Amino acid sequence: MSSTLPRTTLPKTSDATFAADVLGSDVPVLVDFTASWCPPCRMVTPVLEQLAAEERDRLRVVQLDVDADPETARTYRVMGLPTMSLFRDGEVVASVVGARPRAAITREIEPFLAPR
């Protein structure tokens, strides 16, 4: 079982860089907790890539491989994959568990993003 995630345009974060990449960010960050062996994770990646491109002024989207970097997933009690957690000012303000359509993801995170 490989811990290499499929090719994506989404930047990666890790246990070592999570504080700087996510907790210290001045914009909200949607963390995609994912794994290479997870088919629903692969299904949601293109949706997140599109969301990241279209909302780049209001949001960053990063991936964290839970197999390669389990500490952060454990800290935030990630129990199912994919889990997408929105961090704002260093705190989780919204989470979506499971592969969801873009509209469902957007509905959960929109209240926490800057106005357009």
Residues 45-91 have pLDDT tens digits of 999 999 999 999 999 999 999 999 999 999 999 999 999 999 999 99
Question: Is 38 marked active-site?
Answer: yes
pLDDT in the model for residue 1: 43
DSSP for 22-44 reads IIT-SS-EEEEEE-TT-HHHHHH
Q: Out of 35, 41, 66, 73, which one is annotated catalytic?
A: 41
For the segment(s) 18-104, the CATH number from 3.90.1150.10, 3.40.30.10, 3.90.1150.200, 3.30.70.100 is 3.40.30.10
Catalytic site includes residue 94: no
Pairing between β-strand 83-88 and β-strand 29-34 as defined by DSSP bridges: antiparallel
> What predicted TM-score, i.e. pTM, was given to this entire model?
0.94
Catalytic residue among 5, 30, 38, 73: 38
Task: List CB contacts of 60: < 8 A, sequence separation 6 or more.
Answer: 11, 25, 27, 28, 29, 30, 52
